[in-house]
Structure 1
Amino acid sequence: MTKHQKRLSVPNSWPVERKTETFTVKADAGPHGEAGVPLLIVLRDVLGYVDNRKEARYALNQDNVLINGKPVSDEERPVGMFDIVAFAEREEFYRVFPDEGGRLALTPIDEESAGSKLGKIVNKQHVPGGKVQLTLHDGETLTVDEDSEYSGSDSVVVSNDDGEIVAHFPYEEGALVTAVDGAHAGEIGEIDEIQVTPGSSANNVLVEQDDGDSEASAAEGGEAAGGFETIQEYVVVIDENFTDGGDD
């Protein structure tokens, strides 16, 4: 099986130039599905810490590169939305966050914030033993009590040390969200209205923005000033600290 991926066909979320060369590295199977960006691209193309695969392998063998608190040795390991990437020797910590246009970018955060990661609940099902299993956007699963208050499309913050949920952000009107896909990817605002659509069609979400974001969106030919409309699948509930690298 080839280890290369044509640049022109990579997902829009990948932070690579598509026309400079024909191929780039292919991500291994793992978290985030096809949207996961190989760690090599983060190290080489985004941060410029290595020049090639050989240098990346050497750096990773030192156990100084961590994703969600765990050392990583595979340069093709997928990195995706809301992952925490830490460089122990450099004392540098980043959260993978979608920028405008939907490309994944690295947001610097402090060491305390790097101790946990955000996850969107994409599935909830009962399992034997009177428990409920939550599946997050990156494929991680958590088991919680049956009477827990978690619902689909809520967000949770999970400790990297023990996998425990340390914060919960319900998906509801008034919640702060970021769009992670679609025409408004990377934009942030508060849910003004959730429009439930009958049948199998996606629910619509009306997002209200402050004046600055709204004017910019309108100037670029987006929705009318005041916010934007997208679908439920494309929004993730966040805390305001996730946008500026502050403490969670």
Structure 2
Amino acid sequence: MSNHQKRLSAPDSWPVERKEETFTVKADAGPHGETGVPLLIVLRDVLGYVDSRKEARYALEGGSVLVNGDGNVAEDRPVGMFDILAFTERDEYYRVFPSEGGRLSLTPIDEDAAASRLGKVVGKQQVAGGAFQYTLHDGTTLRADDSYAGGDSLVVDNETKEIVAHFPYEEGALVTAVDGGHAGEIGEIEEIRVTPGSGDNAVVVTQADGGFETIADYVVVIDENFTEGGEE
């Protein structure tokens, strides 16, 4: 199987120039599915910290580049929405955040905020022993009690993997759109519209200068610290 991805056919979320060269690196199997951006693209094309795949491998061997607290990462490791990147030698920390047009961008944050990451609950099922298993948007699974629901957001400690905060999906919640025509926009849920049958549910989001309506799957509950780079 090829290790290369044609730039023109790369997912819209990838922050790469489409016409500069024909190919770019292909993401390895892992978190975020097809939307995951290879770490090499972040290091080379976004931050400019390396010039080649070889340099990226060398930089990662030292363990000073962490993704969600993990220093054992390869250059083709997929990086996606709400992941935390830490460059410990540089004392730099970033959260991957959706920007206009659906592309992923890096939001600078402080070291305390980098200790945990946010995940949207996209699946829930009861398992043996009475506990519940929750699946987050990046494929992570967690076990907890019955306190959370689909669409909620959970903040997970990168070291202990414990849930340290919970943002319910409900009217009045602060959300960001992560896909569709309003990707990157932030507002409060005014109304949740449940569509009977197999149709997509919708949300009406209000903003200071107006608002928008989008598919419920396209919004993620956050809090104000996610737009300011402060602590969760």
Q: What TM-score range do you get, normalising by the shorter chain?
A: over 0.9
Equivalent residue number for residue 72 of structure 1 = 72
8 Å CA contact 2:115, 2:157 repeated in 1 = yes
Looking at structure 2, the residues matched to 56 and 194 of structure 1 have their Cα atoms a distance apart, in angstroms, of: 44
Runs ≥4 in structure 1, deviation > 6 angstroms? none
What's the CA shift string for 1:141-167, capped at 9, x where partnerless? 00012xx32000000000001010000
Supply the AA of the counterpart residue of 1:119.
Answer: G
Looking at structure 2, the residues matched to 2 and 24 of structure 1 have their Cα atoms a distance apart, in angstroms, of: 11
| Counterparts of residues 1-248 of structure 1 (less than 5 Å) | 1-145=1-145, 148-211=146-209, 226-248=210-232
> What is the root-mean-square deviation in Å for CA atoms of aligned residues?
0.6
Q: CA deviation at 1:41?
A: 0.1
What's the CA shift string for 1:64-113, capped at 9, x where partnerless? 00000110331000000000000010010000000111100000000000
Supply the AA of the counterpart residue of 1:204.
Answer: A
Looking at structure 1, the residues matched to 109 and 55 of structure 2 have their Cα atoms a distance apart, in angstroms, of: 25
8 Å CA contact 1:182, 1:234 repeated in 2 = yes
SS at match of 1:71: coil
Looking at structure 2, the residues matched to 161 and 59 of structure 1 have their Cα atoms a distance apart, in angstroms, of: 22
Looking at structure 2, the residues matched to 189 and 100 of structure 1 have their Cα atoms a distance apart, in angstroms, of: 14
Supply the AA of the counterpart residue of 1:172.
Answer: E
Supply the AA of the counterpart residue of 1:229.
Answer: E
Supply the AA of the counterpart residue of 1:227.
Answer: G
| Unpaired stretches in structure 1, ≥5 consecutive residues | 212-225
What's the CA shift string for 1:117-152, capped at 9, x where partnerless? 00000000011111100000000000012xx32000
How many residues align structurally? 232
8 Å CA contact 2:113, 2:231 repeated in 1 = yes
Farther-moved stretch of structure 1 (57-66 vs 69-78): 69-78
8 Å CA contact 1:57, 1:73 repeated in 2 = no
SS at match of 2:171: coil
Looking at structure 1, the residues matched to 120 and 185 of structure 2 have their Cα atoms a distance apart, in angstroms, of: 17
Equivalent residue number for residue 221 of structure 1 = none
What's the CA shift string for 1:28-52, capped at 9, x where partnerless? 0000000000000000000000000
8 Å CA contact 2:84, 2:95 repeated in 1 = yes
Looking at structure 2, the residues matched to 34 and 73 of structure 1 have their Cα atoms a distance apart, in angstroms, of: 18
Looking at structure 2, the residues matched to 63 and 151 of structure 1 have their Cα atoms a distance apart, in angstroms, of: 36
Work out the percentage of aligned pairs sharing the same amino acid. Answer: 74
8 Å CA contact 1:64, 1:87 repeated in 2 = yes
| Unpaired stretches in structure 2, ≥5 consecutive residues | none
